[in-house]
Structure 1
């Protein structure tokens, strides 16, 4: 059965107001306290697999989703001069190597006429109109924090790539090392936004292609929350992207979100959020240290938030980590997460899921699995507050019956 599944603000102001709402703050799950996961980690806590800050960055491996043809997003056929050293090798229908007419362009080398040297400058010069705009980014490592503000129109972010369908071909990286330990103790508002490498706030739809976004803070004993990507509005699609971190890598926090053919790495609660219904299609999820993949924060029975992982691959490249990761733990009592049609590697503990702490009430959590495979998929020793579904969750249940007609959804990645 076939399932279908960046005005600017460089963060410099540290607010001191008290947190007033969950979606404003998303301060994130606390440091890991569950069970044996406090005991040693095989990860060095400083180098995160899948991203490098030395040169053009490529993902650690290709997604096991096969070859797909056809162009995506806006027309990228317009001419532009930029020596990428590809000598024609980077071409074809899936190559995204030149910005279209009218695009705002970022080029760390300054070689492209009219381009901006940083992501922050590029974002600040995107026209704030109701029309669709594109930010095209040439290869490079951009060491900065970036906020995508609330634009009045839809936005496309496109990173240079020879194959838009594969995150392993990405050549643009945005990276910034910062964790909550770096913030003053009196800062209590929106702490995770303040440490995030990229914060997405735009409200009219955003499609992001072929960007690597990293927070290489690594493992910390306290206040280790170090977000790479923070999504704080609805109608977001991320396609063949690469998100790397350790604790709280991705905050999928609000509204409808789609992550397709994307690599996400971390250790502790590395996919988390409060009020998002998010579909993850054909994503590679790498555990780089002891912890849980997800920490969904659905707080009540109205089911404002749910994560569904379809055709995912959950793995670790370190054999000594076998059995040290869990699919999720409930940040709030009505946490909802589903893994279906996915390959679960031996990094997944046979219990599958874990309590937040020993006092956690799991009576209303919704942790489900369906038709998974691999050594981590055996249900025999699963915790009592998880279960198997009798049928798969349809993408329409998360993104709506009309999802295919939505501008921000690129069905070629599904």
Structure 2
């Protein structure tokens, strides 16, 4: 039983399904998955239904210094090639070549911790996960960094369930589609926002964005809770087509009274959707939300078009919804 560069690199680049069982331990390496076939990484554990029992830690330590793309920092990358994984810059990011193939059609992790601990604070992009041109499901998985913890790139589809995501600055970001279900979101400090998305103009309707549903957002520990009370924004628009929705999610007292914020310089406009649906907890300030300029409160009809993974995940390049065959509905 072994992991990472050795195990994954040994898999043939075909459409067969492979399962890698990972023994307990700390593994300091970057893992890159480029194959198309279903690929599942399973961590050894005594309690697969409780992420706190995870015993497998995959660790990397890197930040995106000047001139280095964020892609080079990630602990785990799922993408068909380097070009597909690059973040790039500007409002539209790296121009991925049109002939880039789709990567892994069904990637999964169970009971792993993915860690990028270059520094114990936000010090430039430092990714724990990067997924682009691929479908990925993450179950009882821990993601730990400070800035840009989770990157869902172009044509990336990611589903997280019963997992923990920790960060400080813009730690859910990307271009693709991310559904975060029944997860714990840990605030290690406040910087920027929890979410920062770049929407993309397409010839078909798209619902690229981040959806955080039936989850809980809270300070990582009691010490930081006192420092960040009332200071953390739910998100900010990485470009004007940002789409981020927190739905039925518990918000602790760390959250800013007005919820979302704008970027500086301003990017929020009529195409931006920064929204909430039935959030609750001490971080949901009714008075603050009523005067918020960058936070929309959705009613039933407003939430309905986004209310399930089937309504937001799309088949590559078609605009057709319902691309959820890669999600493991039965594990939890």
Aligned: 1:387 with 2:296? yes
Aligned equivalents of 2:161, 2:139: Cα separation in 1 = 5
Partner of 1:272 in structure 2? Answer: 173
Do the aligned partners of 1:207 and 1:239 also contact (CA within 8 Å) in 2? yes
Partner of 2:77 in structure 1? Answer: 199
Partner of 1:163 in structure 2? Answer: 47
Change (3 A) 1:130 1:303: closer
Aligned equivalents of 1:217, 1:177: Cα separation in 2 = 4
Aligned equivalents of 2:44, 2:248: Cα separation in 1 = 31
Partner of 1:311 in structure 2? Answer: 214
Aligned length: 288
Q: After superposition, give the CA deviation of every residue in 1:39-87 in whole Å (9 maximum; x if it has no partner).
A: xxxxxxxxxxxxxxxxxxxxxxxxxxxxxxxxxxxxxxxxxxxxxxxxx
Change (3 A) 1:413 1:284: farther
Change (3 A) 1:315 1:221: closer
Aligned equivalents of 1:152, 1:217: Cα separation in 2 = 30
Q: After superposition, give the CA deviation of every residue in 1:338-371 in whole Å (9 maximum; x if it has no partner).
A: 1111101111010111111143343321011111
Partner of 2:91 in structure 1? Answer: none
The structural deviation recorded for 1:154 is: 0.9
Partner of 2:189 in structure 1? Answer: 289
Change (3 A) 1:311 1:351: same
Partner of 1:226 in structure 2? Answer: 126
Partner of 1:411 in structure 2? Answer: 329
SS in 2 for 1:127: coil
Aligned equivalents of 1:219, 1:305: Cα separation in 2 = 31
Of residues 152-161 and 298-307 in structure 1, the stretch that sits farther from structure 2 once superposed is 298-307
Larger Rg: 1
Aligned equivalents of 1:147, 1:328: Cα separation in 2 = 29
Q: Which runs of 4+ in 1 moved over 3 A?
A: 219-222, 299-304, 400-404
Aligned equivalents of 1:306, 1:402: Cα separation in 2 = 16
Q: Which of 254, 258, 275 is matched with 2:159 structurally? A: 258
SS in 2 for 1:399: coil
Q: How does 1:127-166 map to 2 (within 5 A)?
A: 127-149=12-34, 151-166=35-50
Do the aligned partners of 1:145 and 1:196 also contact (CA within 8 Å) in 2? yes
Aligned equivalents of 1:194, 1:311: Cα separation in 2 = 32
Aligned equivalents of 2:36, 2:200: Cα separation in 1 = 30
> What runs of 5+ residues in structure 1 fail to find an aligned partner?
1-104, 107-117
TM-score by length of 2: 0.81
